[in-house]
Amino acid sequence: MTSTARMVASVGLMAGLTAVGAFIRIPLPYVPVPFTLQVLFVFLAGALLGARLGALSQLVYLGLGLAGLPVFAGGAAGPGSILMPTFGYIIGFVFAAYVIGTLTQKTPVPQFRSTFLKILAGLPLIYLFGVVYLYLNLNLITGKSCSLQDALLMGCLIFLPFDVVKAAIAAFIAVKVRNRLPIATHLSTRA
């Protein structure tokens, strides 16, 4: 398999896994943001594919959803998805994968602790885009009154412990894969 074919396959795989993560969903009462596994695959995209390819995988995921494939949480799809309260998180996925990839791709032999911390550095971007978009969406589009504090609670604080666990899982997987498969290290350092 050529290098280009590997890169295309890797980007497609991570986009597909992010979509699968959207279907592993637990709705929470009174909270417009469901618990999903998407963030785990965003972390892995950045840590395994590097900045450029990791972000590209999330752009592919975003593009597939906007094009009409039901890949967003709850099976949402199409341009109308932009009006979902959770759409900001999807935008944040692209930036988080890029930052995580930038930080992790410079490590030739990754270690768990440093990889975990580098993955955690991408999480605030997901929350930044997600919480701000959630706040604006609830107040301006759906017409529900929501304070910034409530948006922060509903869109970040209740998910933070779970996302830290997902970061640890992603770091463990990324270290194992990159230390055992030279192609994963090759992809992430070229991207």
What does the pLDDT look like over 147-177, one tens digit per residue? 999 999 999 999 999 999 999 999 999 999 9
| Closest to 32 (Cα-Cα) out of 163, 160, 166, 151 | 151
What tokens appear for 60 in the block? 């592919």
| Closest to 66 (Cα-Cα) out of 86, 52, 80, 54 | 80
Handedness of CA 59, 63, 20, 39 (dihedral sign): positive
Whole-structure pTM value: 0.92
What tokens appear for 184 in the block? 């994963």
Average pLDDT, the chain: 92
Helices (H), the chain: 3-23, 38-67, 87-104, 112-120, 123-136, 148-152, 160-180, 182-190
Which domains, and CATH codes, for the chain? Answer: 3-190 (1.10.1760.20)
C-alpha to C-alpha distance for 120 and 81, rounded to whole angstroms: 27
- 18-45 pLDDT, tens per residue? 999 999 988 888 888 989 999 999 999 9
